[in-house]
Amino acid sequence: MTTETAASPTTGAAAARESWVPMIAIALGQMIMSFNVAALPVSMGGMVESFNVPPTTVGTGIVLYSLSVAGFVMLGAKLCQRFGPVLIFRYVVGLFAVAQVMMTLSPVATVMLLAQLLAGLAAAVIVPALVALIAHHYHGQQQATALGALGSARAAAGVGAFLIGGLLGTFVGWRPLFGILIVASGLVFFLSFKLKPADGRPEVKIDAGGVVLAAVSIILITLGFNNLNRWGLGVAGPGAPFDLFGLSPAPIMIIVGIALLQSFIFWSRRRQSAGRTPLLDLRVISSNQERAAVLCMFAVVMLEAMLNFSVPLYIQIIQGRTPIETAIAMMPFNLTVFFTAMLVVRLYGTLAPRRIGQLGFALCTLALLWLAFVVRNDWSAVPVMLGLIAFGIGQGALVTLVFNVLVTAAPKELAGDVGSLRGTANNLAAGVGTAVAGALLVGLLSAQVVLQLADNQNFPPHIQNQLNLDNITFVTNDRLQTILEGTTATPQEVAEAVRINTEARLMALKMGLLLMAGVALLAIAPAARLPAYKPGEIPDNPAPPMSEELRETARAVASKESES
């Protein structure tokens, strides 16, 4: 962070106002990506029926999308710098449209997964391009408004996906939902010609070694988390493709991925010291405040992904309700995130980011604890809606806050690197959050079912032996009854199994919400290291490197000036 960060808004305010038409293209670019991700959970029931696959397969689609974005977004940032963000943005929006055509017409789950992989690769370039385009088009107050609008666009897409997806999924089907994205992508492509031309920088070189290290590390981490439940937490389970001396490959992949991520940082630092272009300019995470903002962003997105996967899973798959009922159940959360993301910027003049971050995570913690206490089988209950609203307020404030802190902390020339860092953190967190939610809920459900069956005299061992207790997953009560028809269970034993299944699923959800509350509570620690002054504007020119003492002095001066 530099002293120019606090001083630059004055200069930007004097600049001539730019047209908001380019911002329409930029915001829609964000919305088509967010709409795609949000549409997957609300379409879960339809996809499970269409493809005859378990709901975790839909979760794999979310993970594949997030994995490809997180793994290659740094490469996307360098492509934007080398060839110019406008040209690259236009091309990859077309690629995103192709992915949505595949998604809409997919005959089998494999094509659906490939479509999400392709959409993720396109989004890996769109994400850093959006930040670079805002820095290129807007300054001063317009720039602050544009950054807030970008955060709100993400939330608005979530609201739209759940509402439109619920209606279409209930009365038409899930495929038209992704057909909308084909039309929207075409509109973004057309509006991209309204963007001001931006020259590329041919001197920017692509760090091939960095690309490999970053992509492999993030892929290993995401795949490891995604397969913890199927492959085993420690000892290799029957679903593991291989084992290492009897150990599950999932935790080993996570450990190796983290080690490679550290190697990538070391590689980038050496490359930057040698005067060569690194894949990620480490100046964007050079201070404790910036690193804290990245950790906070990871926690925010991870919590949102866990909730967005858990609730539709419970409502559609477990309770067997329609997509529109899922949309209605999630609407209090999504609407609150949308409005809070827009309005929280008004607090920047009175509350420091550090305080907003602490209050936001504290509110998320209390909301999740409340939900774990009051949740029942009826998601329309007023106490549940109040909990979702409180959680949405915390999430909306945090997602805009940490984005603004990161963006305004770096020079304009590093806007693409900030965008890639944001994309890596967001999508890695979304992939890990979805994977952890799936593994956590299934694992808790299995433990609850096995425990209750073992202690239940009304469900004799000879019936238990006819069930595959090693592969317990979330099923509706009707599906469970169908399975039990293939056994020698009596009607009384079937009724007892249904009761156990119902109670175990609800208990698994409650325990999952409690663990999510623990994540939010732990995130208060990095939030306490966020800056003590309000975010300013993206600086036009980078400042020379500063020692940590000089950085702290500059921050203290900026804080006093903002208070006065």
Write down the mean pLDDT value for the chain. 78
Half-sphere exposure of 222 (CA within 13 A, CB side): 29
Most confident of 22-36, 159-173, 418-432: 22-36
Going by C-alpha positions, the residue among 225, 188, 249 that lies closest to residue 21 is 188
pLDDT of residue 20: 86
pLDDT in tens, 446-492: 666 666 665 666 666 655 555 554 455 555 566 666 666 666 667 77
Let me know: does 558 contact 5? Beta carbons within 8 Å: yes
Least confident of 259-273, 334-348, 528-542: 528-542
Half-sphere exposure of 100 (CA within 13 A, CB side): 26
The verdict on pTM exceeding 0.85 is no
Question: What value does the mean pLDDT take over residues 383-412?
Answer: 81
Residue with the bigger pLDDT between 116 and 427: it is 116
Residue with the bigger pLDDT between 376 and 31: it is 31
Residue with the bigger pLDDT between 338 and 482: it is 338
pLDDT at 358 over 50: yes
pLDDT in tens, 63-77: 788 778 878 888 888
- Residue 244: strand pairing partners: 247
pLDDT of residue 111: 92
pLDDT at 4 over 60: no
CB under 8 Å to 80, separation ≥6 — which residues?
A: 88, 89, 125, 128, 129, 132, 416, 419
Report the share of the chain in percent with pLDDT over 70: 78
pLDDT in tens, 125-137: 998 888 888 888 8
pLDDT of residue 561: 43
Going by C-alpha positions, the residue among 114, 93, 67 that lies closest to residue 181 is 93
- Residue 235: strand pairing partners: 247
**Distance between CA 58 and CA 529 in Å, rounded?**
37
Query: DSSP string covering 303-325, please?
Result: HHHHHHHHHHIIIIIIS---HHH
